[in-house]
Amino acid sequence: MVSSRKKIKTLRISSWNVNGLRAAAGKGFLDWLMQSKNDIIGLQETRAREDQLDAPLRSPKGYHAHFVAAQRPGYSGVGLLARKRWNSLETSLGIEDFDIEGRLQIAQFGKLWVVNGYFPNGSGKERDNSRVPFKLAFYQKLFEVLEPLRANGGRVLVMGDFNTAHREIDLARPKQNENTSGFLPEERREFDRWCQAGWVDTFRHFEPGAGHYTWWSQRYGVRQKNIGWRIDYILASQGAMQFVENAGIQSAVQGSDHCPIWVEVRPEILGTS
């Protein structure tokens, strides 16, 4: 999509659930990284400890890198890549049950705060909705942590796999999924709470139309038919939104069951530290 605003020099910030960083590396991740011209990238579901990553993944050329692994092997995990090093970086919500799953990075770049999150899925081991309370508790705790920043005009971008399709327009088959975690009323209400508090869905700010998704089942033909869900977002606080020039989805990029999403922001968002 193309913004109607005059093209100016911007910073590009992207988010991508790679569904296993080592697996994505075998499917062209590094090629995408080197061609993408991103300034900051948040990765989710990296599924590896840092010492399990080959050097090109652990320390990509031109980027500072930081990874958080889950205590459980091969599960969850997030990573942050940035061309300029952050001023500070926090990975804890102060609740052990969340922190051991390696789901969060909160990085400060001057006056900009970038939050990279892998929000829990509400589905349990039996494909029920037993993890929904845990998922909602994660949302609520992160909201609580970020609220002082947002309320005081802070420049905050929250990006990642939110594991929730907010509205009917955000998935191809809403009626069939009304009882599925990711589109349950209580999950959608929690997303509403964020938006009502002032968080802006950057993609929807620029694109009101249907048919735009970020995740597709790996069942044969599903992605080709674009039967997907939009569960990856970059939310902006009102303080940050004034610097956002554009937002989009790279649905053609392969390598994961998710695709990358991005925003372009004016460099002034960084201000001074």
Which secondary-structure segment (H or E) carries 21? helix 21-25
**Tokens at 95, concatenated:** 């609740």
pLDDT tens per residue across all 273 residues of the chain: 444 455 679 999 999 999 999 999 999 999 999 999 999 999 999 999 999 999 999 999 999 999 999 999 999 999 999 999 999 999 999 999 999 999 999 999 999 999 999 999 999 887 799 999 999 999 999 999 999 999 999 999 999 999 999 999 999 999 999 999 999 999 999 999 999 999 999 999 999 999 999 999 999 999 999 999 999 999 999 999 999 999 999 999 999 999 999 999 999 999 964
> Considering the domain boundaries, does residue 5 fall inside one?
no
> Considering the domain boundaries, does residue 6 fall inside one?
no
Q: Which residues lie closer than 8 Å to 221 by C-beta, 6 or more apart?
A: none
> Considering the domain boundaries, does residue 46 fall inside one?
no
> Considering the domain boundaries, does residue 214 fall inside one?
yes
**Tokens at 232, concatenated:** 């990856």
CA proximity to 11, closest of 266, 268, 273: 266
What residue numbers bound the domain in which 67 lies?
11-40+51-270
Determine the angle formed by the axes of helices 185-197 and 132-151, rounding to 10 degrees: 0
Give the residue carrying structure tokens 């051991």: 100
First-residue to last-residue Cα distance in the chain: 32
> Considering the domain boundaries, does residue 45 fall inside one?
no
Predicted local distance difference test score (pLDDT) of residue 3: 45
**Number of H-type helices and E-type strands within the chain:** 8, 14
Q: What CATH number does the domain containing 164 carry? A: 3.60.10.10
Predicted local distance difference test score (pLDDT) of residue 1: 45
Q: What is the pTM of this model?
A: 0.95
Instruction: Please say whether the beta carbons of 40 and 109 come within 8 A.
Output: yes
> Considering the domain boundaries, does residue 2 fall inside one?
no
> Considering the domain boundaries, does residue 230 fall inside one?
yes
Q: Which residues of 193-213 are buried (b: 16+ CB within 10 A; e: fewer)?
A: ebeeeebbbbbbebbeeeebb
Which secondary-structure segment (H or E) carries 190? helix 185-197
Map residue 36 onto helix, strand or coil.
helix
For residue 121, what is the DSSP state? P
Q: Which residues lie closer than 8 Å to 143 by C-beta, 6 or more apart?
A: 193, 194, 197
CA 14/CA 160 separation, integer angstroms: 9
> Considering the domain boundaries, does residue 254 fall inside one?
yes
Query: Which positions are catalytic?
Result: 161
CA 206/CA 1 separation, integer angstroms: 8
CA 213/CA 201 separation, integer angstroms: 14
Predicted local distance difference test score (pLDDT) of residue 124: 84
Instruction: Please say whether the beta carbons of 229 and 172 come within 8 A.
Output: yes
For residue 84, what is the DSSP state? S
Domain count, the chain: 1
